[in-house]
Amino acid sequence: MLSGALIPDNNRIADYFSRKLGADCKTLSVKQSFPGISRQTWLLKMEVSGEEQGFVLRFDPPWGASVPQSLKHEWLVYSHLWRTAIPVAEALWYEDGQDFLGGLPLMVRRFVDGSPGIPGLAENSAQGRKLRRRVADEHVEQLARLHLLDWKAHGFGDFLNPPEAPGQSFRKEFDYWSRFWRTNKTAPFPVISEALYWLEDNIPQDTPRISLVKGNNGVGEEIWSPDGRIVAFSDFELATLGDSAMDLAFSQGTLELCNFDASIRYYEQCVGHSVSPERLAFAGFWIKFKAIACLNCCLMRGFLARNDPRLAPAAFELTSAKAYEHQLAAAMGRNIVEAWAEVSGRERGSYASLGGQS
């Protein structure tokens, strides 16, 4: 169970934690968290001075992460959030150049009891519908708290490089990711090139405030209690400062568990300002482009360079990226709000089987 070329044996894990914690440690269990596409994540159960404790070890594999941001970027978000009222696991340490994992960047945080999934969420019953409503509302409330956080007071501007003004939020996003795409794409991709011209023509400038944006969120990303409460936000590999609509567009279907429009209205009540259709539509299509960029420029590039031995990332790029490319191609030249309403309506239709619409 322990081996791989990435994870040392139990004794080396115990030795490493003993040195870092300054206490006698024994390894009780090691389990990899799947699917682990962005980075490798391992759940460790340790005995520390006779007391059982849980830790999460997260690191970049030898072939690199599936996102352009460094692991230190993610570590800094965790360590700064731990000082706030936002629910997040305690960040313990970040290390680069150590001999424990052959020098790979790594971070360790406390294990938080809970699960990325929620039992009974897809149950087609009154109880299931009630749970979905509670999960959607909980997620809205916690996202609103994150987006209203005083990021300046908590030092996020020291390492996240905020846009010059709220209205420049999407412009800054566009410039960074389009530059990353042009530099790292594995093929010409003329459809994506054309889509970027269309997206640039539709960049909204009505962002009401600069917010700390998680990047990817929802069920499957956070740590949840069985009753549908967020115990801790998790996975900040795409965190940035910008327009909060990015999180609304990339909630992994969580805001759509009951009624997406109702979730957006509730979010507006929680944050105290509206979410324009233009912002939401741009964010929805922009998320698809960012997914293509990560899948191709990181995962596929690593596979083609023979650094990443896994077949799953290559298959993921060939399927999901092509599907997103098709959606962008169908939207180009159209009114972006109307195009997004059509695309998102089809996607939200997949939740009809849950019986949770209201």
pLDDT of residue 198: 97
Instruction: Clarify whether residues 188 and 262 are in a common domain.
Output: yes
Instruction: Clarify whether residues 88 and 155 are in a common domain.
Output: no
Q: Is residue 320 assigned to a domain?
A: yes
Q: Is residue 184 assigned to a domain?
A: yes
Nearby residues of 346 by Cβ (< 8 Å), 6 or more positions away: none
- Where does the pLDDT of residue 346 fall: very low under 50, low under 70, confident under 90, or very high at 90 and above? low
Q: Which CATH number is 303's domain given?
A: 3.90.1200.10
Nearby residues of 95 by Cβ (< 8 Å), 6 or more positions away: 105, 106, 107
pLDDT of residue 347: 61
Q: Is residue 115 assigned to a domain?
A: no
Instruction: Clarify whether residues 41 and 171 are in a common domain.
Output: no
Three-state secondary-structure class, residue 198: helix
As for how many domains the chain has, the answer is 2
Q: Which CATH number is 41's domain given?
A: 3.30.200.20
Instruction: Clarify whether residues 322 and 196 are in a common domain.
Output: yes
Instruction: Render pLDDT for 177-207 as a digit per residue (tens, 0 to 9).
Output: 999 999 999 999 999 999 999 999 999 999 9
Torsion sign, CA atoms 358, 245, 178, 253: negative
Helices (H), the chain: 10-21, 71-81, 126-148, 157-160, 169-184, 190-201, 245-249, 260-271, 277-294, 301-304, 311-316, 322-331, 336-348
Instruction: Clarify whether residues 57 and 138 are in a common domain.
Output: no
Instruction: Clarify whether residues 193 and 276 are in a common domain.
Output: yes
Q: Produce one character per residue of 42-52: b if its CB has 16 or more CB atoms within 10 Å, e if not.
A: bebebbbeeee
Domain endpoint, select from 50, 79, 110? 110
Instruction: Render pLDDT for 92-119 as a digit per residue (tens, 0 to 9).
Output: 999 998 889 988 999 999 999 999 999 9
Residues of the chain with pLDDT > 70, as a percent, come to 94
This prediction's pTM: 0.91
Q: Please give the residue range of the domain that contains residue 162.
A: 126-354
Q: Is residue 88 assigned to a domain?
A: yes
Is the pLDDT reported for residue 91 higher than 70? yes
Phi, psi of 48 (to 5 degrees): -115, 110
Instruction: Clarify whether residues 80 and 156 are in a common domain.
Output: no
Instruction: Clarify whether residues 54 and 156 are in a common domain.
Output: no
Look-up: residue for tokens 């959606």?
A: 327
Nearby residues of 327 by Cβ (< 8 Å), 6 or more positions away: 285, 288, 343
Q: Is residue 290 assigned to a domain?
A: yes
